[in-house]
């Protein structure tokens, strides 16, 4: 059964993509027959290594994975999907004749989402498969919504011709500073999202204010400040980007409490927001803007030292940032 795909069950654009991995032709045929109740296209293989290739090259909504395979066992395949292919949202149902609690716990630990014991009831099999597919569809919808937010953020950036590639540069600079600070992987990922989404609230700021070359009036400044709250509200509605909300809302707070929108001070300002501030300020100073010209590294060091003396920035992160500027400033420029 290795290689050729099982005939398409449903060719409509709405059909799911299902991969069945099993070296037992009888069980394979039974699974395909049951799946006829769901609009899906089924691809099959009888070995774990081929399954990994298919998943790496294609896009699937569900994997039905036999625990015992001739080359790699199902648990090893599952682990490699999660670890090596970095695919954590693909639903994997382990199909197994070994129903011991220890075996099932191990499969779940390797990354399986669910399991079906052989011999299985067709209705149970169908119910579990359908539930997994519907969950994957929900994840895809959320991912699409997050993509819309990222697109809106890029549209905000594009409104100002002097901030081209600003977000992409910020992603790089945030990672450099974040690693030096010692942030964990999930914090670095939140920084990456925040670097792109931090100014998404400016989607509602008029160009007359956003692109004004001179000083803003008091009313204009209040309007501009609202972008932090508006952006946070937008991101807070999606689980997939909610970890970036501390950056979106608090990247204009100050260490001494004089910032906005919440007047947070010291360590009450989220750590990732404090790290992001240094990357954002560096990019604003290092490149031309409507209100200022690009600054030299020496000038940026002087400005940052001044902001630290005023009590505006986290002094510990500031020490790390200034060390990078003095020793290896090229690391910050993408």
The residue-averaged pLDDT of 137-153 equals: 70
Annotated catalytic residues are 202
Residues in Cβ contact with 126 at an 8 Å cutoff, skipping those fewer than 6 apart: 34, 35, 37, 38
Start-end ranges of CATH 1.10.3210.10 in the chain?
160-332
Percent of the chain past pLDDT 90, that is, above it, reads: 48
Cβ proximity of 198 and 247 under 8 Å:
yes
Distance CA 149, CA 206 (A): 19
Residue 4: the pLDDT is 46
Specify the CATH architecture of the domain 16-140: 3-Layer(aba) Sandwich (3.40)
Among 191, 313, 326, residue whose Cα is nearest residue 252: 313
**Over 60: is that where the pLDDT of 222 sits?**
yes
pTM score, two decimals?
0.59
**Over 60: is that where the pLDDT of 164 sits?**
no
**Over 50: is that where the pLDDT of 2 sits?**
no
Cβ proximity of 58 and 17 under 8 Å:
yes
Cα torsion for 115, 118, 119, 124, to the nearest 10°? 10
Q: Count other C-beta atoms under 10 Å from residue 263's C-beta.
A: 12
Start-end ranges of CATH 3.40.50.2300 in the chain?
16-140
Cβ proximity of 21 and 64 under 8 Å:
yes
Q: What is the number of H-type helices and E-type strands within the chain?
A: 13, 5
Percent of the chain past pLDDT 70, that is, above it, reads: 89
Burial of 306 (0-12, 13-18, 19+ CB in 10 A): exposed
Token pair for 144 = 């699409």
The residue-averaged pLDDT of 279-291 equals: 83
Query: Which stretches within 160-253 are classed as H helix?
Result: 166-181, 185-197, 207-210, 218-235, 245-250
DSSP string covering 74-139: HHHHHHHHHHTS---SS-EEEEES---HHHHHHHHHTT-SEEEESS--HHHHHHHHHHHHHHHHHH
Residue 261: the pLDDT is 96
Range of 198-207, 208-217, 279-288 with top mean pLDDT: 279-288
Residue 12: the pLDDT is 41
More confident residue, 256 or 236: 256
**Is 1.10.3210.10 the CATH number for 160-332?**
yes
What is the pLDDT confidence band of residue 142, given thresholds at 50, 70 and 90? low
């Amino acid at each position: 059964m290795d290689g050729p795909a099982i005939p398409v069950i449903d060719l409509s654009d709405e059909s799911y993509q299902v991969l069945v991995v099993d070296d037992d032709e009888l069980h394979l045929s039974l699974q395909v027959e049951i799946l006829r109740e769901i609009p899906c296209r089924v691809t099959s293989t009888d070995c774990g290594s081929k399954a990994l290739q298919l998943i790496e090259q294609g896009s699937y909504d569900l994997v039905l994975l036999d625990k015992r395979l001739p080359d790699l066992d199902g648990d090893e395949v599952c682990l490699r999907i999660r670890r090596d292919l970095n695919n954590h949202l693909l639903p994997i149902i382990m199909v197994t004749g070994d129903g011991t609690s220890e075996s099932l716990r191990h499969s779940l630990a390797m990354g399986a989402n669910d399991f079906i014991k052989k011999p299985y009831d067709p209705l149970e099999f169908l119910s579990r498969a359908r539930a997994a597919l519907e969950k994957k569809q929900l994840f895809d919808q959320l991912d699409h919504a997050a993509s819309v937010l990222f697109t809106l953020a890029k549209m905000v950036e594009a409104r100002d011709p002097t901030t081209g590639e600003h977000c992409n540069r910020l992603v790089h600079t945030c990672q450099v500073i974040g690693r030096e600070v010692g942030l964990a992987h999930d914090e670095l990922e939140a920084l990456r999202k925040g670097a792109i989404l931090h100014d998404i609230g400016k989607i509602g700021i008029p160009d007359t204010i956003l692109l004004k070359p001179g000083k803003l009036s008091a009313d204009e400044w209040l309007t501009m400040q609202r972008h932090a709250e508006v952006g946070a509200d937008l991101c807070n509605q999606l689980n997939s980007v909610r970890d970036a909300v501390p950056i979106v809302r608090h990247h204009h707070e100050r260490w001494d409490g004089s910032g906005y929108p919440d007047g947070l001070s010291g360590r009450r300002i989220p750590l990732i927001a404090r790290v992001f501030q240094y990357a954002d300020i560096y990019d604003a100073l290092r490149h031309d803007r409507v209100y200022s010209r690009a600054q030299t590294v020496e000038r940026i060091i002087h400005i940052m030292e001044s902001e630290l003396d005023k009590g505006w920035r986290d002094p510990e992160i500031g020490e790390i940032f200034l060390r990078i500027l003095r020793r290896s400033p090229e690391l910050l420029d993408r």
